[in-house]
Chain A
C-alpha cells in the first residue's frame, strides 16, 4: 500500500516553510524582541511587588464585601452598549474605554448545549488584560449561597478537574447582589488574575423539560486578569465588580433572587464518572467519562496494568459536535498482555443510544448494551466483548431503544484492520 504515506508526504510538503521565507514585519523583529525582553524582565521584577500590592488591595476591599454581604455602590451604570450572551443566560454592558474582544460559544450547559461568553479588553492596549464573563456549572460545595465555611476540598476530584474557586483553608468571600443573587469571590488567584467571582445563575427549567439536576448549579463567572501594573489591576477590578453587580439574566436564566433550596447531596457536575466495568482477571476494564475544564474525555482503564499513574489507561477526547452529528468514535485496544491476545472496541455514545451493533467481517454482528446512562456525565459508553486477534470490525452502529440506527462509526480507513494489528 503506497497511498498511506502519500498523505504524510503531502502533509510534509504543505507544512514545509518555503526556503528563505521572510516573516512579514520581520525587519524590526529584534528591536521588538528587545522591548519584549525588557518588559518581561520588568514583569519578573515587579511580580513579587505586584502580588503584595494586589494582596493588600484585596485586604482593603474585602471588608466592603463581607460584613453585610452586598457590594458597595460603585459608579453609575455603564453607558456603553449591551452585549447579550443568550446561551449563557446573561447580558452585560461594555464599560467606557473597553471593547468586546470576542464573543464565542463553548459547551457549558448540562444538557450539552452551547453557551456563550464575552471577553472584554481595554481599548488602550494593555498586556494580557481581559475580563471574561461566562457561565459554567460548579460543584455544590463551592456554589454561591451554600453554607459559609463549607470546605471545598471534598469537591475536588482525584484528577483535580473540578472547577475550584479557592484554595483549601482560605475563606470564601461571599455576599449578595441587590437582586438577591448570592456571589462568592476567590481569595487566592492564579498568576495574572486580579479577581474571580461566581454569581448564582441557575437555569430556568421549563415544565417538562429534561434538565439534569446539575442545571441548578450554573454560575456566572467573571474573571479579570492583567499582566500590567497595579493601576491597571485596579481598573480591571472595578470592571469586574461592576459586571458582578450589573450583569442581567436573560433567556434561560432564572429572573433573579436566591436559587432556592439547594440539595447539597447532588454530585458535582464535573469530575470523573465510572460508567461501567467488565472483563475479568488481567482483562478487567473500567470505563469512565472525565469532565473537566476542557473537553470531556472517554477513558478505558485496565486496573491490572495500572502500575503507575498514566499507564494502563486509554484516554481520548470526546468531541460533542461529532457525536451529536450522528457519528461514533471507535476506540481500539489490544490486550497484548493476555495470551492469546484479544482486542476490545469501545467508545462514548450519545445517551439516546441503548444498544451498539458491532459488525464483523465474515461473522454475524455482535450486539452489546450501552451503559452509563443517567450518570451526571453527558455520555453513555459501550465496550465489546473480547475479540479474537485478527477479527475485522467493519462497522459500529448505535441503536436507540426502538432499534433505530442513530449513530454510526466515523469513516475511518483503519477501522477494518484486524484486531491487534500492529501499525508500522
Chain B
C-alpha cells in the first residue's frame, strides 16, 4: 500500500511538535526528544505503508513511549547513562512556579515521570496509561500517587501540602 505523501505530510505537521514536546517531557533532553519524535513518525510511516493505523496519532504516541521504554530497558545500562546524563532540561516558557514544577518532574524516577506526564500532559486516564506502559493499573495508581507525593515533598510549598495548609488555616 502506497502512502499518500501529501496526507502524511499533513499528519506530520499536526503531530511533530506535539510528539517532540511529549519526548521532551519524558526525557528532559531536546535532542533526544526530537530523535524520539522522528523515530516514532518514521515507524508510523512504515506501519502506514502496510496498513493505515485506525488512529495514527495514538499509534505514533504509543511508538514514542514504547521506544523510550525499550531504550531504557533493552539497552540497559547504556541507555540509563543516556537518560541520566542528559543535557540540562529545557523548561517551558512560564512563570517561576511552573519552571520549578517542571524541574521537579524532571527529577522524578523515569516511571513516575512517565505516568505523570501521560496523566497530566496527555490527559490520559489511569487505565489508558496502564495499557500504554504495559503496567498493572494498581502500579500506575501507585506510581502516580508516589510521584505526586514526591512533588509535594520536593516543592515543600504549604499551599501544595494539605496537612500544612490545614495547619496554616487553623492558626
Contact = CB atoms under 8 A, between A and B. Distances in A.
B139 interface: yes
Interface stretch (A23-31, A149-157, A229-237, A244-252): A23-31
Nearest to B94: A14
A6 interface: yes
B81 A17 contact: no
Given A15-B120, A17-B21, A18-B92, A41 B46 contact: yes
A286 B84 CA distance: 33
Interface stretch (A173-181, A270-278, A309-317, A357-365): A309-317
Contact of A11 (B84, B105, B146, B153): B105
A29 B16 contact: yes
A389 to B, nearest CB: 18
A225 B17 contact: no
A113 interface: no
A6 B42 contact: no
Interface in B1-59: 9, 12-13, 16-18, 20-21, 25, 30, 34, 38-39, 41-43, 45-46
Contacts of B13: 30
B74 interface: yes
B18 A17 contact: yes
Interface string B56-91: 000000000000000011111110111011000000
A412 B149 contact: yes
B157 to A, nearest CB: 9
Contact of B153 (A30, A314, A410): A410
Given A7-B148, A104-B84, A413-B163, A21 B9 contact: no
A204 interface: no
Contacts of A414: 145, 149
A interface secondary structure, majority: mixed
A102 B85 contact: yes
Given A1-B162, A104-B85, A412-B153, A40 B18 contact: no
A11 B152 contact: no
B81 A119 contact: yes
Contacts of B162: 1, 3-4, 413
Contact of B81 (A18, A26, A104, A319): A104
A316 B138 CA distance: 11
A347 to B, nearest CB: 12
A412 B148 CA distance: 10
Nearest to B149: A412
Given A413-B152, A413-B162, A14 B101 contact: yes
A51 to B, nearest CB: 17
A293 B76 contact: yes
Contact of B17 (A22, A44, A134): A22
Given A3-B160, A3-B165, A32-B38, A10 B101 contact: yes
B131 interface: no
A396 to B, nearest CB: 15
A14 B41 CA distance: 26
Contacts of B99: 14
A190 interface: yes
Given A6-B160, A11-B120, A190-B74, A132 B81 contact: yes
A24 B92 CA distance: 12
Given A106-B77, A136-B77, A412-B149, 5 more contacts: A14-B92, A21-B93, A24-B30, A32-B38, A132-B81
30 contacts: A4-B162, A11-B148, A13-B98, A14-B94, A14-B101, A14-B105, A15-B102, A15-B117, A18-B93, A21-B92, A23-B17, A24-B30, A29-B16, A30-B9, A37-B46, A40-B39, A106-B81, A117-B77, A117-B81, A132-B77, A132-B81, A223-B78, A225-B75, A294-B72, A294-B73, A310-B136, A314-B142, A316-B146, A317-B109, A412-B149
